[in-house]
Amino acid sequence: MAMIRSLSSSPPPAKRPRLDFSTKCTRPTSDFKGGLMLAPMVRSGSLPTRLFALKHGAKLVWGPEIVDKALLHAERAVDPVSGTVHFNGVSKAIFSCHPIEKPYLIYQIGSADPELAVQAARIIKDDVSGVDLNCGCPKPFSTHSGMGAALLTNPDLLCSILTALRNELPPHISVSAKIRLLPSQEDTLKLVKRIIDTGVSAITVHCRTRSMRPREKALIERMREIVEYVEGLAVDVAIIYNGDCQGYPDARRVKEITRAHSIMIATAAESNPTCFDPNPLTDLEHTLLPSYVQLARFLSIHWANTKFCITQFKGPCPVTGKDKRKEIKELISRTKSYEGLEDISGPWDGEMVLNEIQDILKRRNDYLLIDESDKEEQWAGLPLSPHDTNQEIQKVNLLPSYEREIMIAS
């Protein structure tokens, strides 16, 4: 099968020496606590989005749900220039990832069969740090096959998949689940307990029921009881909140209400992948879009996917102005390839963008805590962004630095 670079609508014109992104070891994969996470999002959870989320402070990133059978029929190919790993389908990659995100990347699997789930997880385990079972997607394409939210009413199957994954995957690959609330809080707690008994490292709770739509307000008030229930079990399992968090500043409000161990962000990150930063970018058409497009092209991300992602960008535009933003949006809508955005993207140097992200991740330390005396006022578990230099912090129980955890080969 041809390399995905040849399938991309507009590849970089010339090859350059391949960057060395090999890894000798990975970060601890059980550490799901004390951070902001990028939610799994179909189409929107693209590789460039994940990398920019990590650059701006996301602790872990979930890839979009990939059904087990799709991965089983894909062909793994490594781009010799960028280092991108593509799992190629018939006409394009069904999933793309990169070694620099591996220590932070969770693969979300769609499955209704323990054996197929294990087979798919084995294929991708060397490119990710964890596997998460989708137990919450309410879309018919998922539920009609018994996957996603359909598993909520089939807990025996749900738990058998998680048990199989935990038994068959290496210990350093974490196993987790993402669920929705059941109509009854009692039934939700029972399900959480059963999932914990499978040996998972974390459970993400999307605080909406299967029948609720995204426009309906999340039932955030139900989360605290779930967290306290799990803590009462005295088990080392992280409980992650998902639902309506608008970014870093809003995370403190959510933390105070829920006491969740971490918070997962979806819609806000789709609109602005830098929302994990205490100072997220504004005027995205000028501050994010050019770098995003350059990076996506260098990584050979299919233009259609990139186009979808950048059309979702929105937020304050004090400099750009609404008229200029509208003009840019219309240009994107008409554009059929990367080359159509040359006036916006500037020189094609996605390699430089990737190197910048890599450098930030190498300096990053996920174990910085706010000063002990501030714990009552601020969420000690909320990680500080690489750009958050104004806060007084104390290194508590400092674990090895990124260089020792990832050990990028020179």
Residues tagged active-site: 137
Cα separation, 28 vs 139, whole angstroms: 33
Between β-strands 174-181 and 393-394, what pairing exists: parallel, antiparallel or unpaired? unpaired
* One-letter amino acid of 129: S
Q: Which helix (H) or strand (E) holds 269?
A: helix 267-271
Neighbour count for residue 371 (Cβ, 10 Å): 13
Cα separation, 30 vs 262, whole angstroms: 13
Spatial contact of 239 and 226, defined as CB atoms under 8 Å apart: yes
CB within 8 A of 116, min separation 6: which ones? 68, 69, 72
Q: What are phi and psi of 196, to 5 degrees?
A: -60, -40
Residue of 163, 56, 60 whose CA lies nearest to 102: 60
CB within 8 A of 76, min separation 6: which ones? 85, 86, 87, 88, 123
Cα separation, 147 vs 158, whole angstroms: 9
Spatial contact of 391 and 368, defined as CB atoms under 8 Å apart: no
CA atoms within 13 Å, Cβ hemisphere of 307: 18
Cα-Cα-Cα-Cα dihedral sign, residues 324, 329, 331, 332: positive
